[in-house]
Amino acid sequence: MGPSLKILALKALATTVLVLTTTLAHATDYVAGKHYVLLETPVRTGDASKIEVTEVFWYGCGHCYTFEPQLEKWSKTLPADVVLSRSPAIWHPTMELHARAYYTAKALNVLDALHPALFDAMNISRDKLATEDDIKKIFTAHGVDGDAFSKTFNSFGVGSAVGQADARQRGYKVTGTPEIVVEGKYRVSASLAGGHAAMLAVVDHLLAIERAARAKHHGSDSAATAK
């Protein structure tokens, strides 16, 4: 191994040590089984190049409604290596309709407007959105063509997305909403973390753990390549 390769390898290892040291300094802040749940079987994430943070939510959940502004504010501070996604909870036929509403809005590129509108409909107007027509009214009130809504709402693509959301929540073993899953490995709830703000603090801690693990992996790869 030449001098330049040795220097690269040493720099990679030094970076890994620094990241691990920083993480370990805060390792006692939060404990698995006490502040969050370590899933026995990790759930596959969508983008291996980023650390995935997934919120499991329901439009009819008052706690989700009050948590949403905090989550939105927090999401704007996320670094480039983290991606936030949402996965609607489904453990009742009506909740499946609400999950379809989420993925319909996403497919029609109107999620920015319809996501808060659906939350408001259920939590402010107390509309149960118990039928497809009830949901359709919310969409058309926000300028979505009725036929386009119906076609998308009942499409194979939306049905497939709903099925995947159901499979994810089963893999996550969610106990309520809102809950956050980090990298398909760690499940964070308000009851364990100690509130909504505490949830996000625990998530930040878990992101640091995942980032350190990735740095260690990449550092090992760099050192191995340099040999």
Q: What is the DSSP string of the chain?
A: --HHHHHHHHHHHHHHHHHHHHHHHTTTTS-BTTTBEE-SSPPPPS-TTSEEEEEEE-TT-HHHHHHHHHHHHHHTT--TTEEEEEEE--SSHHHHHHHHHHHHHHHTT-HHHHHHHHHHHHHTS-----SHHHHHHHHHHTT--HHHHHHHHTSHHHHHHHHHHHHHHHHHT--SSSEEEETTTEEEEHHHHTSHHHHHHHHHHHHHHHHHHHHHHHHHHHHHHH-
pLDDT of residue 29: 84
Contact 103, 158 (CB under 8 A): yes
Quote the percentage of the chain above a pLDDT of 70: 83
Contact 203, 51 (CB under 8 A): no
Q: What does pTM read for this prediction?
A: 0.84
- Is the pLDDT at 10 greater than 50? The verdict is no
pLDDT of residue 216: 83
pLDDT of residue 5: 40
Structural domains of the chain, with CATH: 91-173 (3.40.30.10)
Give the span between the Cα atoms of 206 and 197, in whole angstroms.
15
157-184 residue pLDDT tens: 999 999 999 999 999 999 999 999 999 9
Give the span between the Cα atoms of 179 and 194, in whole angstroms.
12
4 vs 168 pLDDT, higher one: 168
113-149 residue pLDDT tens: 999 999 999 999 999 999 999 999 999 999 999 999 9
18-58 residue pLDDT tens: 444 444 444 448 999 999 999 999 999 999 999 999 999 99
Give the span between the Cα atoms of 54 and 199, in whole angstroms.
13
Give the span between the Cα atoms of 180 and 20, in whole angstroms.
24
**With bands split at pLDDT 50, 70 and 90, how would you rate the model's confidence at 188?**
very high
Residues in Cβ contact with 110 at an 8 Å cutoff, skipping those fewer than 6 apart: 139, 142, 143, 144
Report, as an integer, the average pLDDT of 185-191: 97
Instruction: Please name the amino acid found at residue 119.
Output: F
- Is the pLDDT at 8 greater than 60? The verdict is no
Q: Nearest to residue 101, comparing CAs of 161, 55, 56?
A: 161
What's the mean per-residue pLDDT of the chain? 88
Contacts of 194-197 with CB under 8 Å at 24 or more apart are: 194/35, 196/63, 196/66, 196/67, 196/70, 197/70
- Is the pLDDT at 104 greater than 90? The verdict is yes
pLDDT of residue 20: 42
